[in-house]
């Protein structure tokens, strides 16, 4: 076994006969990087399926990019969510992702929306981060490239971009770098490594609350374990990080606390929250749909990696902590943790990719290992292509038909008219039309509990429940816009309800006007 080699301090010997600056030496380095570049391009292309239609697939990107446009225009983060839930709720995303899109748009685009496809390139970023982290774990040679390819072909990235979890994708792409920097500092602490760690961790913390929580929980577990094992050494390492981390992480931490306080503000009881997330518990079918059946084989690689004595103990501890946090959340319902459990599966991509080389090592000779690696990667990649195509078709939320319906709604409605709409349409409507909206969001999709009561009213209308009349009058609802592709269960009854008058419908939406009592 080759001795593990830190990724930021590579070996000099025997790598290239050409001097560093010579033309042929430079060309050789570009050419040498081709295998990793292919992995990066593959990851980008697999995520690119989400951008093949008239509009990017998914719903969530609309509020990220709306926040980016707000930031581009005003220079300050979006605090209130305009029009969404009657404009009465806060926008509870961390500002980092919106700032990132605004930064990229600032140099030449009037809006952030045309920049949505840039998100696919996050796949390349994630792959290169996994490569560097695997290089630290396993040393140079085949393992880092195998880990990078496993990351590129793993289906969760393409799945996440298809429903447009853009800000979480940014966080997940930055995670390997933050872990790598933290581990590098723990191995060889100096001023440079402390600053690098602060930059990597500080950059990630402000992007998405889930990635921030994952990283903070992982680093806290790791640090506690190290403090227990080597108290003095670990305390000195932690102390050297204090100032740089404070400068880089305090603003994001302030925002993170703010988001947590707002999100939990309405006093929804813990038991209610647990019940709301019951439908999202991870079962076999959810696992197969998100990671392909081969995902379970690759998950075994995590165990193989944690048992691999050729990897540094503290590196295994860090990846073990990350995996533990992920598994605790995936199966958190057994411990009374309320969470959208399926969402946690996306965080498994990193340990699964890092465990892949250890899994391949379990096979016998070189040929068997090659056969196993190639077969698993080809199978996983093919599965990802099929899944990316399927998801792109499934999550086709914004279409020319929807835009057409919105234009008609705009023509027949007045500025203050309240519109009850399907959940998926709610993300796009705030940037398409300026009308107070009441999205019928089911409880498990609500991150900010300020929205709970308003959403419950909208659900009562959309499902034609016994409270429909009461809500229509109390909220002064004027229109109902229903998605045909993602209809709320029970919404069929609206078609025959005496208060609903069909104004317009096409392939994707139905627009009702509310009749006076």
Q: Which of residues 129-168 bind other proteins (CB under 8 A)?
A: 129, 131-132, 135, 140-146, 149, 152-153
CA dihedral 139, 322, 257, 116 (to 10 degrees): 70
**Chain centroid to CA 350: how far?**
13
CB-nearer residue toward other proteins: 44 or 463: 44
Question: Binding pattern to other proteins, positions 212-251, x when CB under 8 A?
Answer: -----------------------------------xxx-x
Question: Binding pattern to other proteins, positions 85-124, x when CB under 8 A?
Answer: ----------xx--xx-xxxxxxxxx---xx-xx--x---
Task: By CB under 8 A, tell whether 367 contacts other proteins.
Answer: yes
Site size for other proteins (CB under 8 A): 140
Do 54 and 396 contact (CB within 8 A), yes or no?
Answer: no
Q: Which helix (H) or strand (E) holds 421?
A: strand 418-421
d(CA 374, CA 139): 21
* Residue range at the interface with other proteins (CB under 8 A); choices 25-33, 213-221, 395-403, 483-491: 25-33
Tell me how far, at minimum, the Cβ of 434 lies from other proteins, in Å.
23
CB-nearer residue toward other proteins: 365 or 416: 365
Helix, strand, coil % in the chain, rounded to nearest 5: 70, 5, 25
* Residue range at the interface with other proteins (CB under 8 A); choices 69-77, 233-241, 428-436, 495-503: 69-77
CB-nearer residue toward other proteins: 103 or 493: 103
User: Which 2-21 positions form the footprint of other proteins (CB under 8 A)?
Assistant: 2, 7-12, 15-16, 20-21
Q: What angle do CA 342, 344, 349 make, to 5 degrees?
A: 115
Among 80, 192, 271, 393, binds other proteins (CB under 8 A): 192
Which structure tokens are listed for 359?
Answer: 């899994």
Q: Which helix (H) or strand (E) holds 482?
A: strand 477-483
Tell me how far, at minimum, the Cβ of 495 lies from other proteins, in Å.
31
Do 322 and 183 contact (CB within 8 A), yes or no?
Answer: no
Q: Under 8 Å CB-to-CB from 316, ≥6 apart: which residues?
A: 305, 306, 308
CB-nearer residue toward other proteins: 68 or 440: 68
User: Which 385-444 positions form the footprint of other proteins (CB under 8 A)?
Assistant: 385-386, 388-389
Among 4, 379, 442, 487, binds other proteins (CB under 8 A): 379
Q: Under 8 Å CB-to-CB from 396, ≥6 apart: which residues?
A: 53, 57, 485
CB-nearer residue toward other proteins: 21 or 516: 21
Q: How far apart are the first and last CA of the chain?
A: 79
Which structure tokens are listed for 278?
Answer: 């019951």
CB-nearer residue toward other proteins: 22 or 278: 22
Do 62 and 397 contact (CB within 8 A), yes or no?
Answer: no
Which residue in the block uniquely carries the two structure tokens 């995303």?
93
Tell me how far, at minimum, the Cβ of 226 lies from other proteins, in Å.
23
β-strands 509-514, 477-483 pairing: antiparallel
d(CA 501, CA 515): 7
Do 509 and 408 contact (CB within 8 A), yes or no?
Answer: no
CB-nearer residue toward other proteins: 246 or 271: 246
Residue-level length of the chain: 517
Q: Which helix (H) or strand (E) holds 501?
A: strand 500-505
Tell me how far, at minimum, the Cβ of 485 lies from other proteins, in Å.
20
Do 273 and 338 contact (CB within 8 A), yes or no?
Answer: yes
Task: By CB under 8 A, tell whether 24 contacts other proteins.
Answer: no
Which structure tokens are listed for 193?
Answer: 């490594």
Among 76, 335, 411, 496, binds other proteins (CB under 8 A): 76
Among 169, 195, 418, 458, binds other proteins (CB under 8 A): 195
Tell me how far, at minimum, the Cβ of 170 lies from other proteins, in Å.
8
Which residue in the block uniquely carries the two structure tokens 């919404």?
491
CB-nearer residue toward other proteins: 375 or 434: 375
Tell me how far, at minimum, the Cβ of 69 lies from other proteins, in Å.
12
CB-nearer residue toward other proteins: 131 or 347: 131
Q: Which helix (H) or strand (E) holds 126?
A: helix 122-138
CB-nearer residue toward other proteins: 140 or 447: 140
CB-nearer residue toward other proteins: 140 or 487: 140
Q: Which helix (H) or strand (E) holds 407?
A: helix 400-412
Question: In the Cβ-directed half-sphere of 440, how many Cα atoms lie within 13 Å?
Answer: 25
Q: What angle do CA 45, 280, 471 make, to 5 degrees?
A: 105
CB-nearer residue toward other proteins: 39 or 437: 39
Tell me how far, at minimum, the Cβ of 216 lies from other proteins, in Å.
15
CB-nearer residue toward other proteins: 49 or 347: 49
Which structure tokens are listed for 14?
Answer: 């025997």
Question: Binding pattern to other proteins, positions 301-340, x when CB under 8 A?
Answer: --xx--xx-x------------------------------
Tell me how far, at minimum, the Cβ of 198 lies from other proteins, in Å.
8
Question: Binding pattern to other proteins, positions 35-54, x when CB under 8 A?
Answer: xx-xx-xx--xx-xx--x--
Q: Which helix (H) or strand (E) holds 437?
A: strand 437-439
Tell me how far, at minimum, the Cβ of 58 lies from other proteins, in Å.
18
């Amino acid at each position: 076994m080759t001795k593990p080699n830190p990724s930021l301090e590579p070996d000099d010997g025997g790598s290239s006969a050409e001097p560093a600056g010579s033309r042929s030496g430079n060309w050789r380095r570009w050419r040498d990087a081709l295998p990793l570049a292919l992995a990066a391009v593959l990851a980008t292309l697999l995520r690119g399926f989400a951008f093949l239609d008239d509009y990017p697939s998914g719903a969530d990107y609309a509020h990220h990019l709306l926040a980016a446009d707000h930031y581009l225009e005003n220079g300050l983060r979006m605090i209130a969510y305009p029009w969404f839930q009657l404009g009465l709720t806060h926008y509870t995303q961390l500002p980092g992702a919106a700032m990132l899109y605004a930064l990229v748009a600032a140099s030449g685009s009037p809006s952030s929306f045309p920049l949505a496809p840039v998100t696919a390139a996050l796949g390349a970023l994630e792959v290169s981060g996994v490569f560097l982290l695997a290089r630290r774990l396993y040393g140079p040679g085949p393992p880092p490239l195998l880990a990078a390819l496993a990351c590129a072909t793993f289906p969760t990235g393409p799945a996440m971009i298809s429903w447009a979890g853009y800000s979480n994708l940014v966080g997940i792409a930055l995670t390997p770098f933050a872990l790598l920097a933290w581990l590098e500092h723990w191995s060889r602490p100096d001023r440079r490594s402390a600053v690098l760690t602060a930059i990597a961790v500080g950059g990630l913390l402000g992007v998405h609350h889930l990635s921030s929580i994952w990283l903070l929980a992982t680093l806290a577990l790791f640090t506690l374990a190290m403090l227990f094992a080597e108290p003095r050494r670990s305390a000195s390492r932690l102390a050297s990080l204090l100032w740089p981390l404070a400068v880089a992480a305090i603003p994001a931490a302030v925002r993170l606390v703010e988001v947590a306080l707002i999100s939990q503000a309405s006093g929804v009881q813990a038991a209610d929250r647990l019940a709301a997330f019951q439908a999202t518990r991870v079962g076999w079918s959810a696992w197969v749909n998100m990671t392909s059946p081969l995902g379970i084989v690759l998950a075994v690689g995590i165990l193989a990696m944690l048992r691999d004595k050729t990897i540094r103990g503290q590196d295994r501890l860090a990846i073990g902590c990350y995996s533990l946090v992920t598994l605790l959340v995936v199966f958190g319902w057994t411990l009374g943790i309320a969470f959208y459990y399926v969402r946690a599966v996306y965080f498994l991509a990193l340990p699964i990719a890092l465990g892949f080389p250890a899994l391949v090592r379990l096979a016998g000779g070189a040929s068997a290992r090659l056969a196993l690696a190639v077969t698993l990667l080809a199978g996983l990649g093919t599965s990802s292509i099929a899944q990316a195509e399927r998801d792109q078709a499934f999550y086709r939320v914004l279409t020319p038909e929807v835009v057409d319906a919105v234009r008609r709604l705009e023509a027949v409605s007045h500025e203050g008219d309240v519109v009850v709409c399907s959940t998926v349409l709610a993300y796009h409507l705030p940037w398409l039309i300026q009308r107070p909206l009441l999205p019928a969001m089911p409880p498990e999709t609500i991150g900010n509990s300020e929205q709970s009561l308003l959403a419950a009213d909208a659900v009562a209308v959309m499902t034609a429940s016994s409270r429909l009349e009461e809500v229509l009058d109390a909220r002064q609802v004027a229109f109902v816009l229903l998605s045909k592709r993602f209809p709320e269960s029970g919404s069929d009854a609206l078609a025959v309800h005496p208060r609903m008058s069909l104004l317009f419908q096409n392939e994707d939406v139905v627009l009702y006007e509310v009749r006076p009592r």
